[in-house]
Structure 1
Amino acid sequence: MNVSAFLYPWDVVGDPDAPRRLADLGIGRVTLASAYHSTRALTPRHPHRRLVTAAHSAVLYPPSPEHWRDVPLRPRAQRWLECADPWGEAAAMLADAGIEASTWVVLTHNSLLGGEHPRAAVRNAYGDSYPWALCVARPEVLRYAVALAAEAGARPGARGAELEACGWFGVEHAHAHDKTAGVPLGGAARYLTSLCFCGSCRHGYAELGADPDELRDAVRAALAPVWSGERGPGPGPDDREGEWAEVVALLGSGFAALTLAWRTRAARAFQRATVAAVRERAGRPDFPVLLHADPAPHRSGSNAGVDAADVLTHADGVVLPCTGPEAVREDVLRPFRTAVEGRRRDGDEPVIAANLTVVSGMGGSPGTLADDAAHAAALGASQLRLYHAGVAADADLALAARELARLSA
């Protein structure tokens, strides 16, 4: 089973022992961030630092002024590491140790650009802007994402690309000093509060036959019992079908279907354009482009919701959230296994990568990695992703190394 670990460039740059430690774990490939959102991350083994604060979304390489000349939304370069090209330097250090690197590109999650360009951000039914969430239906966002996917996805030396937040991003966001837990939002409420009513989305709803103001009022009415506490959060986070049934119950079948139709149309166009941009820039037919995805089309976030059969017609595969009980992995993986079986061709089988968290402090189970991976493989996973080799404690990595040895044996 092909195994890759997620990594930030700052986990490697300035630490000459980092590649060796990864190799000792039994890892021969990493998914290395090249365009990432703001974060605060531990570096528990680095010789010179323990905490990196990435103050804003940024590209982790020097962007080309020529490439961005006619694009109205432009990414910022990182400024928390002294080197000019953290991705390139980290990838070179890893390559010297025999470790391949793919790019890890975050697209629609960008608080800096959403704040600077509020018209480009998702705007909910109450008129509130979500600066962390760029709206995929906006033409300026599409231009930005296509340019970013091409430049950040096909970095020199990269062996492939993985696109995160390649679709709708919504209310879900861990914000600094967050005060949003007063009303628990289940999956249905998250969907409704993530529906966008910017000018582009209002036009899209109208094209499909809805009056945008009437739809907006219906969404507000559907959410009223949630805000008052009369209606609880509904099905659990792993019940995707129940989640959508709750949306239909709250909003009505007609409006629910129409909003999903619009969001699916916009997301599919966005995904096809960004995947094609990476392929064109890479200029290699063997350069795989994968999407971080969820099998429920109505979901938004880092793992954007997709239709399994559709996404595998234009992407080379998917990376799927598989941390949790066996039932979770079955729910996530089965739709993609069915889609692959329906279109398998010799030498051209899409990648289904199971993403397993190996950081116990983030809900992972590094001590059961081999069994979890074997179960994922039985459900159709062909590759494995480990989240996250840079922030995990030594004890977690030791357990993961033991389990990887079991898996290879």
Structure 2
Amino acid sequence: MPAPAAGPAYAAVNPAYPKSWWMIAFSCDVKKNQVVPLRVLERDLVLWRDGNGVVHCQAGHCPHLGAHFGYGGSVVDNTLRCGFHGWQFDAEGRVHSQPGPDAPRKNACLPSYRVVEKHGALFLWNGAGEPDIDFPDFLSFLSKIGATPDDVTFHHHRWFLPFPAKWFGENLCDGMHFAIAHDTGAWGDTIIHAETATTMEMENAIHERRPWLGAENIARRFVRREVVNLLTPVSDNVMSTCWGGSIHLVRFAGRPRILGTIIACWLPVDADTHYVMDITLVPKVKVPVVGKPIEKLTGFVAGLGNWSTAIQDAGLMMHRREPENPPYSKEDRGLIRFRRLWDSRIESQYQLEGDNIRSNGLRAGIRVRGRENAPDTTHRADSNGTPKVMEEDA
């Protein structure tokens, strides 16, 4: 009996970023028999959907003479065809055929990347070989509220922002920022509920909270020109479950429900730009004729609210310059733990020297167990502003 054929030899897109799942596009972006160019994780890629509807992700440039498949390339007989010299590559990156009488080259290979299509989105695994993180079960919380996946619709939003993705993604582990930057309370901190080598579950607690729809807060939103922000009420602590540093499930702590739950990813384009990728969960309206329009309107309104929240952060992020060895406070413990998770998922030792753009490392004073080039301590300031050692589990 012949041995089963080997599967694709999947590659890592960019080992300077965490080995994890990344939301890279939406299903509607790639039609059947279409090639779409994509710039993510500082690399040029293409997505293409074969005649059977299966999406593939491969390197953007032809290994022959470097033409970009996304500009003039096509899908022919379930292969990716280069528009320059007509070389065709199968889904595993092998040369399938090329024009002329010669046999196809055997030593040319197009790097291929693992991609999963789920919830109307495409998720890329940035790593070689088999993932060490199962694809997240984002909908497992539904059983706790007496719902099923049939009760959910998915609404997709995407925004381009001119600053590093990591800065935005780590905000979900920074409870103080939820209180101050988003003007929801006097102060905040982060509680770590569960943690493994690949995941974290956090609750961002907001203290001395202001009533979201109270007269004072509404007036503040008018003064700050943030009226749209009222569409996404932050009236409870914000929960975040993170897989690998890249993918987050965001929901409210005290009132778990479908509406108000988001699957989010901050996707690097280049070192200093990124996409905010957002799947907003909306309850299915099981009413003939009007159900679908109500769902779409709800998703649209939720997207406006999500955008207004992102804009509150964007102005701060665009002008940010973090110092070396920041004087962390006790309320930064969630941020520190997240930074350790992020760095632990990066396979490039060189990158862990840290620039606070792709990683944290030495520059941010973050210790990752088992990494020889990581510093021995993290620091925070004492009451006089003098840095001192922060306890290991802070």
TM range (shorter): under 0.3
TM-score by length of 1: 0.26
Q: Which has the larger radius of gyration?
A: 2
TM-score, normalization by structure 2: 0.27
1 or 2, which has the higher helix percentage?
Answer: 1
Q: Which has the higher strand share?
A: 2
